[in-house]
Amino acid sequence: MTASLRFRAAIVSIALFVAFLGIWHIATRGAAPVASMNPEYAKLMGLTATQGKSAMPGPLDVGAKLWEHLKRPFYDNGPNDKGLGIQLGYSIARVGLGYFLAVIVAIPLGFLIGMSPLINRALDPFIQILKPISPLAWMPLALYTIKDSGLSAIFVIFICSVWPMLLNTAFGVAAVRKEWINVARTLEVGTLRRAFTVILPAAAPTILTGMRISIGIAWLVIVAAEMLVGGTGIGYFVWNEWNNLSITNVIIAILLIGIVGMLLDQILARFTRMVTFPE
């Protein structure tokens, strides 16, 4: 029964995709060629102006271009033109570093907040104010103080991924069932041991949910940050191709950003499943 459900769902998915491609193709076919244009003049103009070609590329254009990119993902034509594989690599490395730093800061701090009501109350106003700030709003300040655009981008990733992890860790730690802690206390387990053997496993699913939210946000932000900072990364690629008004390449980049984002999310989803326990 489940197999047939999955099968039917796949058919619906494919049908939707084909319909989407079909509509896309028809919508971007373009108008008839513009008649009566001086050939001398036409030679100086683009296809949009001369042949009424739609400014939006069709699925065939995108497919052909995508194939071109996939054939050589790692070329390097100098500092401003690198293959998509290299660009994605830069972005993932940046996200990874900023995210890793956020994990190092957020989880211990979250533990502290969750275990101590005093710290919780004391830090609460700061967290409440800092949390809703758009990560990109930090960019000018980061550029000004850190004085290095690469580090600024990493800082922005750090600052945006730290909050969900911090709050989820604090919440997870505070919500550990009192009975378990009381049992640990009865058995005279030390604070440190209690934190690692009782609280950590109990709060792990909540913590990992926070980490999963964070990686999604970090991946959202990196594209915008790289568009601002430039140089390398998939965000820079989008900006560079926009500069050339090459919508085809922008669509390809959007597609890849989506796929990589999904993969990152799936990896953390798998970790979450590993630490989940039945009560």
Partner 1 sequence: MSTFDDPFDADRALSRSGCVCGQHRSAGEHDQAALALRCEPVPTETEQQRYEGVVASAVMRAMFPRDAARRAFLKSVGASTALAAISQFFPIKTATEVFAEAGAPEKKDLKVGFIPITCATPIIMASPLGFYAKQGLNVEVVKTAGWAVVRDKTINKEYDAAHMLAPMPIAISLGLGAQAIPFAVPAIENINGQGITLAMKHKDKRDPKDWKGMKFAIPFDYSMHNYLLRYYLAEHGLDPDTDVQLRSVPPPEMVANLRADNIDGFLAPDNICQRAIYDGVGFMHILSKEIWDGHPCCSFAASREFITGSPNSFAALTRAILDATAYASKAENRKQIAEAIAPANYINAPVTVLEQVLTGTYADGLGGVKTDAKRVDFDPFPWQSFAVWMLTQMKRWGQIKGDVDYKAVAEQVYLATDTRKTMTEMGLAPPASSYKSFAVMGKTFDPAKPEDYLNSFKIRKAS
User: Closest CB to partner 1 among 87 and 209?
Assistant: 87
Which segment (58-66, 73-81, 88-96, 205-213) binds partner 1 by CB under 8 A? 73-81
Decide if residue 125 touches partner 1 (CB under 8 A).
Answer: no
Contact mark string toward partner 1, 45..64, x via CB under 8 A: xx-xx-----x---------
If one asks whether residue 204 binds partner 1 (CB under 8 A), the answer comes out as no
70 binding partner 1? (CB under 8 A): no
Which among 50, 45, 56, 46 is positioned nearest to 33, based on CA atoms? 50
230 near partner 1 (CB under 8 A): yes
Report the 3 state secondary structure along 223-269.
HHHHHHHCCCCHHHHHHHHHHCCCHHHHHHHHHHHHHHHHHHHHHHH
Binding partner 1 (rule: CB under 8 A), the pick from 159, 165, 227, 253 is 227
| Beta strands in the chain, from DSSP E residues, in sequence order | none
Handedness of CA 242, 246, 247, 249 (dihedral sign): negative
**Rounded Cα–Cα distance for residues 170 and 109 (Å):** 8
The answer to whether the Cα torsion of 181, 128, 149, 82 is positive or negative is: positive
Does the protein bind partner 1 through residue 71 (CB under 8 A)?
no
244 counts as binding partner 1 under rule CB under 8 A: yes
Tell me: does residue 154 bind partner 1 (CB under 8 A).
no
Question: Which residues, numbered 128-147, are part of the site for partner 1 (CB under 8 A)?
Answer: 140, 143-144, 147
